[in-house]
């Protein structure tokens, strides 16, 4: 399937910004499961310097330097992406989760750093006994790791309520676990933190998911949104994606932007500004299937 994605972010400042520097993660990843036919960025005001870089995790980022005084900052990314869904692994045939924990332990240490790093705590995905207890219900003795990850995914989907007003990006996962409310970022961070609390490798994935309007209604422009899910590693299947917000394994309508330890590594737009005062932000996302 082929998709066109439009992602427009607008910042409005009460006081003029004199100078700003930004890092943008809005170019979809190129991989065996996904090819990028086109990508463009429209920046207002125009930057005096724009540099495309590859970050530590292999994501494409764009560094911007803006020196014109401004009260509005607009980033509009447009991408055309073709998805090639991988063959779904048989979750029951993946390695027992205890064996993966042993592989990741400091005593044996045979895992490569690019996997082992995703067993460690990060700012939005801490490790705790409480989170390990939450995960353990999905991981009885000798359960295949991917089957356990799917069970955890479905538990979050069925037991938690999607509530955009309940949290923001600073809400800790302990509060999400207690309130059983949040959004896709919260559910991804909760699953990741729970898995890591058992010693299992899990990483944060940002991207998009095509949404459909209710039957008989027209799809509203700009009504889609950024999405987040996670990947879990097993020695036999490699990295496998899970979407706890929807209780599924992505199979063709999830478009990957980037991955990292958590949201902070790959936020769509970050940076430093001189001036600005109070600010507001508006985001409009459209995902259209073109074939």
Q: Two tokens at 6?
A: 């439009």
Q: Among 157, 135, 125, 149, which residue's Cα sits nearest to residue 239?
A: 149
Q: Where are the domains of the chain?
A: 2-84+267-289, 91-251
Provide CB contacts within 8 A for 218, sequence distance 6+.
Answer: none
CB atoms within 10 A of CB 14: 11
Torsion angles phi and psi, residue 68, rounded to 5: -80, 135
Q: Two tokens at 179?
A: 């309130």
Whole-number pLDDT of residue 176: 97
Q: pTM of the predicted model, to two decimals?
A: 0.93
Per-residue pLDDT of the chain (291 residues; tens, 9 = 90+): 899 999 999 999 999 999 999 999 999 999 989 999 999 999 999 999 999 999 999 999 999 999 999 999 999 999 999 999 878 889 999 999 999 987 766 555 567 888 999 999 999 999 999 999 999 999 999 999 999 999 999 999 999 999 999 999 899 999 999 999 999 999 999 999 999 999 999 999 999 998 776 666 655 454 578 999 999 999 999 999 999 999 999 988 899 999 999 999 999 999 999 998 899 999 999 999 987
* Fold (CATH) for 2-84+267-289: Immunoglobulin-like (2.60.40)
Q: Give, as one character, the DSSP assignment of residue 95.
A: P
Whole-number pLDDT of residue 167: 93
**Does residue 63 contact residue 23 with C-beta atoms inside 8 Å?**
yes
Class of domain 91-251: alpha beta
C-alpha to C-alpha distance for 212 and 159, rounded to whole angstroms: 23
DSSP characters for 109-155? --S-HHHHGGGS-BTTB---HHHHHHHHTT--TT-BHHHHHHHHHHH
């Amino acid at each position: 399937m082929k998709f066109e994605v439009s992602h427009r972010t607008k910042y409005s400042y009460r006081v003029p910004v004199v100078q700003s520097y930004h890092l943008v993660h809005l170019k979809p990843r190129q991989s065996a499961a996904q090819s990028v036919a086109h990508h463009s960025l429209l920046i207002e005001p125009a930057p005096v310097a724009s540099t495309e870089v590859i970050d530590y995790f292999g994501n494409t980022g764009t560094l911007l330097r803006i020196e014109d005084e401004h009260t509005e900052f607009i980033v509009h990314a447009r991408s055309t992406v073709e998805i090639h869904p991988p063959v779904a692994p048989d979750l029951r045939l993946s390695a027992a989760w205890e064996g993966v924990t042993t592989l990741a332990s400091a005593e044996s240490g045979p895992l490569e750093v690019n996997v082992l790093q995703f067993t460690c705590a990060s700012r939005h995905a801490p490790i705790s006994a409480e989170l390990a207890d939450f995960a353990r219900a999905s991981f009885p003795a000798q359960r295949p790791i991917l089957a356990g990850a799917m069970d955890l995914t479905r538990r979050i989907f069925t037991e938690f309520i999607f509530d955009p007003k309940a949290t923001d990006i600073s809400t800790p996962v302990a509060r999400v676990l207690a309130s059983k409310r949040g959004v896709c970022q919260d559910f991804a961070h909760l699953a990741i933190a729970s898995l890591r609390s058992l010693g299992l490798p899990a990483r944060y994935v940002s991207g998009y998911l095509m949404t459909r309007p209710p039957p008989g209604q027209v799809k509203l422009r700009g009504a889609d949104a950024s999405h987040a899910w996670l990947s879990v590693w097993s020695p036999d299947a490699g990295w496998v994606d899970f979407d706890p917000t929807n209780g599924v394994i992505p199979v063709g309508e999830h478009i990957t932007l980037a991955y990292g330890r958590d949201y902070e590594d790959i936020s769509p737009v970050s940076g430093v500004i001189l001036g600005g005062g109070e600010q507001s932000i508006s985001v409009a996302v459209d995902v259209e299937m073109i074939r």
